[in-house]
């Protein structure tokens, strides 16, 4: 059974809508033992002045977020293990990375998720990322960016949503397949293992052509290479998606051979049996 969902967003993130307490109550009602909030810290968006629908994305109120999350941890301590984390958008710029280091030192998040959102100067989540690019070019550019992000200077625990660029891709066959990108995916998976990081299984797949990202072919290869550390992520931006497809992911992971989920917590790691 999967009893941990440690990648979700509340309305402290600019693209999410739910109040934190409502999200926590839903996680409790689902019987989760560990529930992680990982608000967006998009310093790369700030640096590049990226816009969504013509508007700059307002930065997160970091102090308000951690203050509220720490209060909620106390309030619900008897009912659920709430983790107050952060999702960092990777940027190769050294000043941006330094800002992330300072944020970790200042707020000491319980865990950090490292994500590629921006590639070739735009957020590769949106369909326009594909415009004028072959699938091979667009996905390779994204995957090499993921590879680069693994060497980020700031501390992180989890490698997020590999296949993010396929979520809304407009190609007739958007699925990211191991066999089509095996060289760069092998490099990514080997580096995740060497650096002792956790590979996330993310069920916010949209129209990626897979029920979760990365799909079983890539997870199988990770296991073959010796990778054992995986986390479960709904990436819910509202309460109704918390824990979504956790039974499906659990069965898929067990079939490959995984026996536990990894839950990072302030530099330690828990193993929860599947
Ligand atoms: Zn993300
Ligand atoms: Zn997220």
Q: Ligand 2 mean position to 87 CA, how many Å?
A: 6
Instruction: Name the helix (H) or strand (E) containing 259.
Output: none
194 DSSP 8-state letter: H
pLDDT of residue 183: 98
d(CA 11, CA 184): 35
> What is the chain's mean pLDDT, rounded?
97
* Ligand 2 centroid to residue 166 C-alpha, Å: 15
pLDDT in tens, 197-248: 999 999 999 999 999 999 999 999 999 999 999 999 999 999 999 999 999 9
Domain count, the chain: 1
Q: Which domain holds residue 245?
A: 4-273
CA of 220 to the centre of ligand 1 (A): 22
CA of 247 to the centre of ligand 1 (A): 22
Residue 213 Cα, ligand 1 centroid: separation in angstroms? 12
Is-above-0.95 flag for pTM? yes
Return the structure tokens found at 187.
Answer: 């490099």
Question: What's the pLDDT score for residue 119?
Answer: 98
CA of 229 to the centre of ligand 1 (A): 19
Query: Three-state secondary structure along 78-124?
Result: CCCEEEEEEEEECCCCHHHHHHHHHHHHHHCCCCEEEECCEECCEEC
d(CA 121, CA 44): 10
* Torsion angle in degrees (nearest 10) through CA of 34, 91, 237, 249: -50
* CATH code of residue 207: 3.20.20.140
Q: What is the pLDDT of residue 91?
A: 98
């Amino acid at each position: 059974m999967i009893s941990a969902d440690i990648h979700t967003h509340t309305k402290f993130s600019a693209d999410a809508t739910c109040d934190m307490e409502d999200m926590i109550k839903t996680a409790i009602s689902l019987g989760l033992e560990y529930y992680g909030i990982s608000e967006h810290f998009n310093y790369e968006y700030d640096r590049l002045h990226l816009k969504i629908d013509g508007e700059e994305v307002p930065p997160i109120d970091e102090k308000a977020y951690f203050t509220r999350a720490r209060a909620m941890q106390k309030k619900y301590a008897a009912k659920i293990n709430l983790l107050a984390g952060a999702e960092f958008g990777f940027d190769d710029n050294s000043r941006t990375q330094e800002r992330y280091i300072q944020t970790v030192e200042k707020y000491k998040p319980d865990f950090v998720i490292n994500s590629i959102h921006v590639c070739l100067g735009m957020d590769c989540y949106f369909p326009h990322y594909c415009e004028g690019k072959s699938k091979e070019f667009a996905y390779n550019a994204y995957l090499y960016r993921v590879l680069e992000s693994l060497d980020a200077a700031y501390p992180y625990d989890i490698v997020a949503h590999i296949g993010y660029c396929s979520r809304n891709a407009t190609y007739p066959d958007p699925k990211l397949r191991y066999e089509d990108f095996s060289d760069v995916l092998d490099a990514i998976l080997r580096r995740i293992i060497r650096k002792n990081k956790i590979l996330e299984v993310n069920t916010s797949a949209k129209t990626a052509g897979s029920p979760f990202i990365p799909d079983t072919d890539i997870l199988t290869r990770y296991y073959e290479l010796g990778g054992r550390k995986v986390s479960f992520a709904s990436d819910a931006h509202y309460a109704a998606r918390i824990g979504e497809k956790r039974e499906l992911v659990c069965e898929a992971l067990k079939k490959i051979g995984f026996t536990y989920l990894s839950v990072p917590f302030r530099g330690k790691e828990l193993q929860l049996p599947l």
